[in-house]
């Protein structure tokens, strides 16, 4: 009963009353339905690439970035107890990724559009990127010295409580949308 909230202002009660007539409920995904802390979920290597070496170099770049996806990649290297080398000439490329020199190699990390802009051939990893994107993961490419070496998948894990919450809304006849 909405009137059991005597300390609420009438505008609050009006808003709650209006919700009783709603047929769709929209949730903000990040932090509401998900953990709010992205994690590295996948590493797809190009032929000849070494996972530990690639992740170490990529983490070196990502350690200098404050982006949540970068933080997830850096944390994955730390969780695996990988040595993360120093970076020279770090450059953040707004909305696309970052680059720098790691152990004398030029490392580029970011979106497919950054790789295309820099002339990096990502065709061997494109199919995996499509698969990851369909699974709700963010594909992040890594290139070393001008060659694509890996595709990393990053996702924000769904909270265990999200499924039952959504199912309960469906059981009440509500449609659920995610923002």
Two tokens at 110?
């970011």
Q: Three-state SS for 52?
A: helix
How many other C-beta atoms can be found within 10 angstroms of the C-beta atom of residue 49? 16
φ, ψ at 70 (rounded to 5°)? -60, -40
Of 44, 61, 136, nearest to 97 by C-alpha is: 61
Q: Three-state SS for 147?
A: strand
Show the DSSP H helices in the chain as ranges.
10-19, 51-62, 68-79, 112-117, 123-134, 162-171
Residues tagged active-site:
28
Give the DSSP letter of residue 16.
H
Give the residue carrying structure tokens 């699974």: 135
């Amino acid at each position: 009963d909405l009137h059991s909230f005597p300390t609420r202002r009438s505008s609050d009660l009006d808003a709650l009353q209006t919700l009783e007539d709603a047929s769709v409920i929209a949730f903000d995904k990040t932090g509401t339905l998900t953990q709010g802390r992205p994690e590295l979920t996948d590493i797809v290597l190009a032929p000849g690439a070494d996972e530990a070496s690639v992740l170490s170099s990529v983490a070196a770049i990502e350690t200098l970035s404050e982006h949540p996806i970068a933080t997830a990649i850096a944390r994955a290297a730390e969780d695996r107890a990988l040595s993360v080398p120093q970076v020279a000439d770090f450059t953040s490329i707004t909305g696309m990724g970052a680059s720098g020199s790691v152990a004398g190699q030029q490392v580029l990390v970011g979106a497919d559009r950054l790789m295309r802009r820099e002339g990096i051939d990502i065709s061997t990893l494109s199919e995996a990127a499509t698969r990851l994107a369909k699974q709700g993961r963010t594909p992040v490419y890594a290139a070393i010295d001008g060659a694509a070496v890996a595709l990393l998948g990053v996702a924000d894990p769904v909270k265990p409580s999200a499924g039952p919450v959504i199912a309960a809304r469906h059981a009440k006849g509500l449609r659920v949308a995610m923002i």
